[in-house]
Chain A
Amino acid sequence: MTDQTKITGGARQEWMGLLARAPEKAVLDLWANAGARPRFDWLRSPEVGGVMVRGRTGGTGAPFNLGEMTVTRCSLVLQDGTIGHGYVQGRSKPKAEAAALIDALMQTDAAETIRAKVIVPLRQQMQADRNTRAAKAAATKVEFFTMVRGED
Chain B
Amino acid sequence: MYVAVKGGEKAIENAHAWLAEERRGSTDVAELSVAQIREQLSLAVNRVMAEGSLYDPDLAALAIKQARGDLIEAIFLIRAYRTTLPRFGYSNPVETAAMICDRRISATFKDAPGGQVLGPTFDYTHRLLDFKLAAEGEVPAVSEGPARTGSTPHITGFLRGEGIIQDEPASDETPGDLTREPLEFPTDRPLRLQSLTRGDEGFVLGMAYSTQRGYARNHAFVGELRIGKVPVEMDIPELGFAIEIGEIELTECETVNQFKGSKTEPPQFTRGYGLVFGQSERKSIAMALVDRALRWKELGEDNLGAPAQDEEFVLSHADNIQATGFLEHIKLPHYVDFQSELELVRKLRREAEERLTSKEAAE
List A residues at the B interface (Cβ < 8 Å). Answer: 9, 12-13, 16-17, 20-21, 47-71, 73, 75, 85, 87-91, 130-142, 144
Contact = CB atoms under 8 A, between A and B. Distances in A.
A55 B253 CA distance: 13
B85 A59 contact: no
Interface in B173-194: 173-179, 189-191, 193-194
Interface of B: 49-50, 53-56, 58-59, 82, 85-94, 96-97, 100-103, 110-111, 115-121, 142-148, 154, 156, 168-179, 189-191, 193-194, 197-198, 231-234, 236, 238-248, 250, 252, 254, 271, 273, 275, 277
B54 A56 contact: no
Contacts of B197: 66-67
Given A63-B172, A89-B246, 7 more contacts: A16-B244, A51-B90, A52-B89, A62-B171, A87-B243, A137-B101, A137-B147
A13 B177 contact: no
B190 A62 contact: yes
A68 B82 contact: yes
A103 B144 CA distance: 36
A90 B58 contact: yes
Contacts of B119: 137, 140
Contact of A69 (B55, B97, B102): B55
B101 to A, nearest CB: 7
Contact of B231 (A17, A63, A91): A17
A133 B100 contact: yes
B145 to A, nearest CB: 3
Contacts of B190: 57, 62-65
B42 to A, nearest CB: 14
Contacts of B117: 137-138, 140-142
- Residue of B145, B173, B246, B273 with highest tally of chain A CB at under 10 A: B246
B170 A56 contact: yes
B273 A57 contact: yes
A136 B245 contact: no
A51 B174 CA distance: 15
Contacts of A59: 96-97, 154, 156, 168, 252, 254, 273, 275
- Residue of B97, B118, B176, B275 with highest tally of chain A CB at under 10 A: B275
A52 B90 contact: yes
B173 A138 contact: no
B344 to A, nearest CB: 46
Contacts of A135: 144-147
A53 B177 CA distance: 11
B97 A68 contact: no
Contacts of B242: 13
A41 to B, nearest CB: 16
Nearest to A68: B54
B293 to A, nearest CB: 15
Contacts of A68: 53-55, 82, 85, 87, 179
Contacts of B245: 17, 20, 51, 69, 71, 87-89
A139 B85 contact: no
B226 to A, nearest CB: 9
A143 to B, nearest CB: 9
B195 to A, nearest CB: 10
Contacts of A69: 54-56, 232, 245-246, 248
Nearest to B171: A62
B91 A47 contact: no
B85 A49 contact: yes
B173 to A, nearest CB: 5
A148 B74 CA distance: 54
14 contacts: A12-B243, A50-B82, A56-B168, A65-B177, A67-B277, A70-B54, A71-B88, A75-B238, A85-B238, A132-B144, A135-B146, A136-B102, A138-B144, A139-B142
Contacts of B93: 54-56, 63
A57 B93 CA distance: 10
A133 B102 contact: yes
A142 B243 contact: no
